[in-house]
Amino acid sequence: MTTVSDLLANAQPGTTWILDRDRSTVTVRNKTFWGAVTVKGTFSEIEGAGEVTPAHTIAGHLSIGAASVSTGIGKRDDHLRSADFFEVENHPVISLEVHGATVTGADTLDLDATLTVKRVERRLDLPATVKLLDDGAVRITTKAEISRKEFGVDGNMAGMIPDTARLEGDAVFTARAGDAP
């Protein structure tokens, strides 16, 4: 098995890695009904890219279409797109910028990232698991708990929605054609 340290040390700096949208997911989970039920929203519009830097760390970004959120219930999805939550007409993109990474184990690292929602930026340390796939692609999986209110995503009717939301990302990147990993 190749370790994260080996992947970073042996990767060709400057190689562009493109997000494979078909094999990647971004979700948000939040309790509702005073914590009794969990609502899961999946974003279907995601794109991104990354690279290994000359310092053998990671830099990259994800762009998430806020309007693409889907919980499977149309009326709830429309409410999530409204000014009460994501306000997609004025803030169509949620972004995650990765500035670097620190290896923490054989297949783990901490990503130094900035999450931007509704033009509010917050720096995050995202623990992630990295796996080299059989086809040469790399899967990075992470999750974090954030405060919705810090990003202006409130919409808390009658106090029934706790503030903490869980973000989950499972991103698969493949080397751009012509670039050697």
**pLDDT of the chain, 181 residues: tens digit per residue:** 578 888 787 778 888 999 999 999 999 988 665 556 678 989 999 999 999 888 888 999 999 999 999 999 999 899 889 998 899 999 999 999 999 999 999 999 999 999 999 999 999 999 999 999 999 899 999 999 988 888 877 766 655 676 788 899 999 999 876 565 5
What is the structure's pLDDT at 93?
98
CATH topology of domain 4-173: Lipocalin (2.40.128)
Report percent pLDDT > 90 for the chain. 60
Distance of CA 139 to the CA centre of its chain: 12
What does the alpha-carbon distance between residue 51 and residue 56 come to, in Å, rounded to a whole number? 9
Tokens at 151, concatenated: 């990003």
Residue entry with tokens 């290896």: 103
- If we measure between CA atoms, which residue out of 64, 63, 50 comes closest to residue 7? 50
Round to whole Å and give the CA distance between 173 and 10: 16
User: Domain-by-domain residue ranges, the chain?
Assistant: 4-173
Rounded CA-CA distance 165/69 in Å is 14
